[in-house]
Amino acid sequence: MLDPKMQDAFNDQINAELYSSYLYLSMAAHFESINLAGFANWMRVQVQEENFHAMKMYDFVNERRGRVVLAAIDEPKAEWTSPLEVFQDTYEHETKVTGLINNLVTVARELKDHASDSFLQWFVGEQVEEEQNADKIVQELKLMEGFPGGLFMIDRELAARVFVPPVAAA
């Protein structure tokens, strides 16, 4: 059975993951509105990843005989001045999520909830990848500043991204 403190922490994180999905969907809509379909595709894949993360936690709470309680999702930002600003926000958001995951691990360890701690280690590793992916694009966008053709090269690259559910999570 899941400790009530751990259950509350997971419910907060499920909400945070759903907010992440909503934020990335807003970013995708922004990119669609400025005809950067590859950037929009990257964000739509990110939406799927965040939904996957939320459902992975949702299932874990239920497997531990906990109770998932969904909360309202905050309205995300909808306007950005450049693709670089979008990806800087993405990177900043992912570092925030890393902190949230680390806090979940801390709660699990304080409660000596080894099952939750073990489960959360996947998310710890996932966040390293999430931050790295966003930062890579930030750095590429900074490199191509002043070279508008570079934007279209990155757009084409981002169009190739597809969502592949992690095998270990199946």
Contact in structure between 10 and 65 (CB atoms under 8 Å): no
Query: If you average pLDDT over every residue of the chain, what do you get?
Result: 96
Please state the domain extents for the chain.
4-70+81-162
What DSSP letter does each residue of 70-105 carry, written as one string? --PPPPPP---SSHHHHHHHHHHHHHHHHHHHHHHH
List the structure tokens of 63: 């497997």
At 73-128, the pLDDT tens digits run 999 999 999 999 999 999 999 999 999 999 999 999 999 999 999 999 999 999 99
Q: What is the CATH number of domain 4-70+81-162?
A: 1.20.1260.10
pLDDT at site 148: 84
Indicate whether 170 pLDDT > 60.
Answer: no
> Average pLDDT in the 14-18 region?
98
pLDDT at site 146: 85
